[in-house]
Amino acid sequence: MSITRSPDTREGPGTGAGPGAPRGGLRLAGLPVRLTPGAQLLAMLTVLASALILPDLAPGWSALGYLAATAVLVIGFLASLIVHELAHAVVARNHGAPAGEIRIGFFGGAVHGRHEYATPRGLWRAAAAGPASSLVLAAACVGVTLGLAGLDAGRLLVVVFTGLAWINAVLAIFNLLPGAGMDGGRLVQALAWARSGDRARGAVTAARTGQFAGALLIAGGVATLAFGYLGGIWLGLIGLAMLASSRAQAREVLAITAMAGLRVRDVVPGPGSAAAIPGWQTVRSFLDGGVQAGSTVAGSTVAGSTVADSTVADGTPSLAASGATAFPLRDFEGHAAGLLTLSQLALVPADRWDRLRLIDVATPLGQVVTTTVDEPMGQLLARLSIRPATPAALHTAGHALVIADDGTPAGVLTPDDFRRAGQLGQLAERRRAP
């Protein structure tokens, strides 16, 4: 599956979309290409499938021949995914929506960055570029297959390039399904946007279309199973995934619309609500009240914390009494270093509290969604939809670390804050209504 996430956001100070771009490694058209552990698992499954299928489709070859054919299939498969996403990224860049990196995972590829398409034409062309490139690769592989067959180059080579042609054709057709986040869904969104002139309405129309298409696939899967074909299971699962993702997109669009006019400064909790904690502290020191009242970070009073009591000896509020669930970490210079949540602390065994530092437990800054007080809330919410890249980032999903102009932490936005922002936006909308 190829999912091209293009949140409607602009690049600016403190608006990192989460994972930082990898340093070094493969770069194509100026974009870093990252193969995740999921891509490695996908490659291993391709090797296994090739080992089971190739000897039956092209018998009589040596083990070295099958090994070389498997290598061509694996490299060709991953290259097809990269080309698909590279086409998205290059066209998006030409329309003023630069990408940060290309990431290949178990479910295909994704272009990550800070995108905002100024016109529906740009969105349409960027969405269509991926399937178009896959169809071109499929046609090229068909041409190579016919040439090899005409030259009597051997059945194994013909099978390999036939497989690559089939992979690219399926990649193009599957991504044209009108599901949320898929190329087909983005094409529907662009067409609806162009027709209505309203970006949000176009996104809602695309989400509803995805739900309808998902329901049709589920019904088709059930009907296929009723006739005794087990392939209906996959059809139904795809339909369920489309239905769920399209519903999520509809909720996201409505939430972003409700936050129109609000900026981070209107929602971020007041000073002291999420104290910046020294990242070099041990877990034990933090839980026992290592940060006392009166410490200042970015001009905010820092509250102390402990676990057992509601207050520590000097009267500062405890971890439980503070009500905070997420804490920004700072380095020796006071700059933001990461984000720590209660769920991460709860996973640390008690016998390691004295050895582990908070920065060892927290999500590092490069894996945290960051923002500034001037960013629109709807823009920030769109960036939060990017799926976490590491297990550590799962704990801070739905959170945003607010960073001041000097790089110091200025607060944390939690899922509760985003829900409150939606409610504030609805109230403001009703107040503006005649």
Task: Report pLDDT digits (tens) over 79-122.
Answer: 999 999 899 888 888 887 777 778 887 776 666 555 567 788 88
pLDDT of residue 386: 63
| CA-closest candidate to residue 370, choices 330, 339, 324 | 339
Q: What's the average pLDDT block by block, 10 residues per block, for the chain (434 residues)?
A: 38 40 64 84 90 88 90 92 90 79 75 67 90 95 92 88 94 88 88 86 87 91 88 85 84 77 80 70 81 37 38 48 79 89 89 90 87 84 68 79 88 85 76 64
State the pTM of this model. 0.66
pLDDT at 367: 83
pLDDT of residue 309: 42
Q: What is the pLDDT of residue 411?
A: 86
> Of 113, 99, 17, 111, which is closest to residue 400 (Cα–Cα)?
17
Tokens matching residue 305: 């914390």
Judge whether 410 and 300 are in contact, CB under 8 Å.
Answer: yes
Q: Round to the nearest angstrom and report the end-to-end CA distance of the chain.
A: 46
Tens digits of residue pLDDT in 402-428:
998 888 888 888 888 888 887 877 777
State the pLDDT at residue 168: 94
Per-residue pLDDT, 422: 79
Half-sphere exposure of 258 (CA within 13 A, CB side): 17
Long-range pairs, 65-70, Cβ under 8 A, ≥24: 65/156, 66/156, 69/156, 69/157, 69/159, 69/160, 70/46
pLDDT of residue 295: 40
pLDDT > 90 in the chain, percent: 20
Q: What is the pLDDT at residue 199?
A: 79
pLDDT at 9: 34
